Amino acid sequence: MPSSLATEIRTRDADIVRASMGGIRWYHTIDLGQGLITPGVDNTAERLMRLQLPASLSGKSVLDVGAWDGFFSFEAERRGASRVVATDSFSWRGEGWGTKAGFELARSTLNSRVEDLDIDVLDLSPDRLGVFDIVLCLGVLYHMRHPLLALERVAAVTRELLIVDTVVDCLSSRRPTMAFYPGTEMNNDPTNWWAPNMSGCISMLRSAGFRHVVALTPVRSAPYRALRALYHGIRGRNNVSSAYQQDRAVFHAFK
């Protein structure tokens, strides 16, 4: 094929993808190639750095729970995972903020082999999915009405390592503690329900069956949290005193 024709085809295909991107409400920021980057509201690159995902996943099976647009599923595949399964339910069904359209467009554009399964977290089981070497549970736990039960379901399909990224609260308490959000107390979002503190999250993971749990991200400094709380208060996402008690943390839990 002449190079000029190949370039014309790639440009046409990129224009089609760009037009499709415009009709989707994106959460993840995904590099689709050819200069196309999805306009996600999430700082996905920063989240990836905080996760400390192994540089090589060669030969590993990976389950991405609550995959949404699928960035971390595709990243696991890029790092050599032998099999990746992306699951979601709430987001993909369009009941909340997003839909499955972003995942499907990204998978097609990236020529990805990531599998997908529309399933609720509480329906995860070895009988339905099998078990996976590495499981990702990112930005999911605080949306669970029954968080300990959710962790037990996730633990049941984890063979080696579970990576959890979640909001933590009640940071002034050293005892295992959890904050309950019956309304829109956190980020003005009625789909947020619970957030444990650091020791609470570690204790829950151990209770769910993980022998060793490492907190990768320490609680950020008081001045940082104070400024962020003030910013959230100004935007009406949270009251200042509550936001000061919150942060985000990453845990690696080993079977």
CATH number reported for the structural domain that contains residue 9 in this entry: 3.40.50.150
Question: In 3D, which of 130, 139, 207 has the Cα closest to residue 176?
Answer: 207
Q: State the Cα–Cα distance between residues 121 and 135, nearest whole angstrom.
A: 12
pLDDT in tens, 24-74: 999 999 999 989 999 999 999 999 999 999 999 999 999 999 999 999 999
Q: What is the DSSP string of 86-128?
A: EEESTTTTTSSS--SHHHHHHHHHTT---EEEE--GGG--HHH
Beta bridge partner(s), residue 63: 85, 135
153 three-class SS: helix
Q: Is residue 181 part of a domain?
A: yes
Question: What number of CA atoms fall less than 13 Å from residue 243's CA on the CB side?
Answer: 21
pLDDT band of 186, cuts 50, 70, 90: confident
User: For the whole prediction, is pTM greater than 0.85?
Assistant: yes
Helices within the chain (DSSP H only) = 3-21, 44-51, 71-78, 101-109, 126-129, 147-156, 198-207, 222-235, 240-244
What is the predicted pLDDT for the residue at 4?
40
Q: State the Cα–Cα distance between residues 20 and 37, nearest whole angstrom.
A: 12
Q: Is residue 230 part of a domain?
A: no
Q: Is residue 31 part of a domain?
A: yes
Q: Is residue 234 part of a domain?
A: no
What is the predicted pLDDT for the residue at 149?
98
Q: State the Cα–Cα distance between residues 254 and 134, nearest whole angstrom.
A: 10
Q: Is residue 227 part of a domain?
A: no
pLDDT in tens, 120-152: 999 999 999 999 999 999 999 999 999 999 999
Q: Is residue 231 part of a domain?
A: no
DSSP state of 15: H
DSSP state of 210: -
Q: What is the mean pLDDT of residues 182-202?
A: 92
- Ranges 18-22, 116-120, 206-210: which has the least confidence: 18-22
pLDDT in tens, 197-254: 999 999 999 999 999 999 997 676 777 776 766 766 667 767 777 777 788 999 999 9
Who contacts 111 (Cβ-Cβ below 8 Å, separation ≥6)?
none
Q: Is residue 224 part of a domain?
A: no
What is the predicted pLDDT for the residue at 98?
84
Q: Is residue 196 part of a domain?
A: yes
**What Rg, from alpha-carbon coordinates, does the chain have?**
19
Orientation of helix 101-109 relative to helix 3-21, angle to 10°:
170
Structural domain tally of the chain? Answer: 1
Domain that holds residue 131: 3-219+248-254
